[in-house]
Amino acid sequence: MELANKLKALSQKITTLKDQIETEEATKTAFVLPFIDILGYDIFNPTEVVPEFTADIGLKKGEKVDYAIIENNVPILIIECKHWKENLNTHNSQLFRYFHTSKSRFALLTNGIEYKFFTDLEATNKMDEKPFLEFDITKLKEPTINEILKFHKSNFDIDQIVNNASSLKYSKEIKKIFNTQLVDPENDFIRFFSSRVYSGRQTERVLEQFKELVSKSINQLISERVNDRLHSALNKEEEKLVEENIESEQKNESKIVTTEEEMEAYRIVVAILRKKIQVERVAYRDTQSYFGVLLDDNNRKPLCRFHFNGKTKYVGLFDANKKEVREKIEKIDDIYKLDFLLLKTIDYYEELEVEKVN
């Protein structure tokens, strides 16, 4: 995405230059104007990006906001800038006054690194106390970049952004609250869970006992869900690799020659494995590089491999992590000596099935 690349380049520039930026004006020039430019607005066109935009407040004349982005002669975004070292939380009231006097639905407070976008969700023409979009340009994530993209000149749609702002703002606040409760849950939060699992009186002592349990349980659940998603992603990747291998093998089928020696070895393996599983569950697939023996004809359940193409013969066996270990054999009958290891492979798969059920 072009926007993402430009923001990344600006982020790197800011990280490199910030210690040399000593004034608010330098912050505007080096950090803020490039950001406006990335949004697709012509910073050299004073009818589109107006510096020192007049925002007179009542009888107080000469009040100016640093920049206003104009569309059809109407401001669509007013921007108040501060030096990159300044704490933006102390400047909300100033922008609040400017917002009230302008026709813009959006206001941006920034020090070139932190960006806070405001609108008037709670009362018309009255800037909300809390921003609906807030980010550090040096720590951008993809979802935030997608929100910034909505302010690009080519995408700018007031109604769409306002509608989305409500969801963004309250979602952000809910996440903050939930994160706080995970670290130090309040009694009401604890009681929500304890009252559903404990039928006794919800005394202070009971709530104190449940406090750690609630926090621990939720954090464990989050970890489990993250692990499940990672496991699912890894499985999909593994399945993709297996499919690619199958396709590759199918393309090379015409070059594959299954020898009588390989079939004899296969029959020996079947004879060994029938002690634990039905013969029908043992299958084989020959490839150019090896002859594979599979459980349930599943490439993800290899039992062993015959490497008989070279001068030295090897049987590849698999451990619990499906790592192949090659055992050298002098003659085909030597496979009988590997019976314990072959049967152990069946045990690995059976243990996995039990874990899935549990």
What per-residue confidence (pLDDT) applies to 285?
93
Taking alpha carbons only, the member of 294, 328, 293, 292 closest to residue 310 is 328
What per-residue confidence (pLDDT) applies to 1?
65
What per-residue confidence (pLDDT) applies to 106?
93
pLDDT tens for each residue of 236-264: 777 677 676 666 656 655 678 899 999 99
Please give the Cα distance from 186 to 205 (Å, whole number): 14
SS (H, E, C) the chain: CHHHHHHHHHHHHHHHHHHHCCCHHHHHHHHHHHHHHHCCCCCCCCCCEEEEEECCECCECCCEEEEEEEECCEEEEEEEECCCCCCHHHCHHHHHHHHHHCCCCCEEEECCCEEEEECCCCECCECCCCCCEEEEHHHCCHHHHHHHHCCCCCCCCHHHHHHHHHHHHHHHHHHHHHHHHHHCCCHHHHHHHHHHHCCCCCCHHHHHHHHHHHHHHHHHHHHHHHHHHHHHHHHHHHHHHHHHHHHHHHHCHHHCCCCHHHHHHHHHHHHHHCCCCCHHHEEEEECCCCEEEEECCCCCCEEEEEECCCCCEEEEEECCCCCEEEEEECCHHHHHHHHHHHHHHHHHHHHHHHHHHC
With tokens 């043992």, the residue in question is 282
What per-residue confidence (pLDDT) applies to 280?
94
Q: Are 339 and 351 in contact (CB under 8 A)?
A: no
Please give the Cα distance from 183 to 222 (Å, whole number): 13
Contacts (Cβ under 8 Å, ≥6 apart) of 226: none
Which parts of the chain sit beneath pLDDT 70?
1, 56-62, 239, 242, 244-254, 358
What per-residue confidence (pLDDT) applies to 167?
83
With tokens 């609630």, the residue in question is 214
How far from 105 is each of 209, 267, 318, CA to CA, in Å? 49, 78, 65
**Which tokens hold the place of 129?**
């106390």
Contacts (Cβ under 8 Å, ≥6 apart) of 277: 295, 346
**Which tokens hold the place of 175?**
């996440």
Which pTM was predicted?
0.56
**Which tokens hold the place of 135?**
């980010």
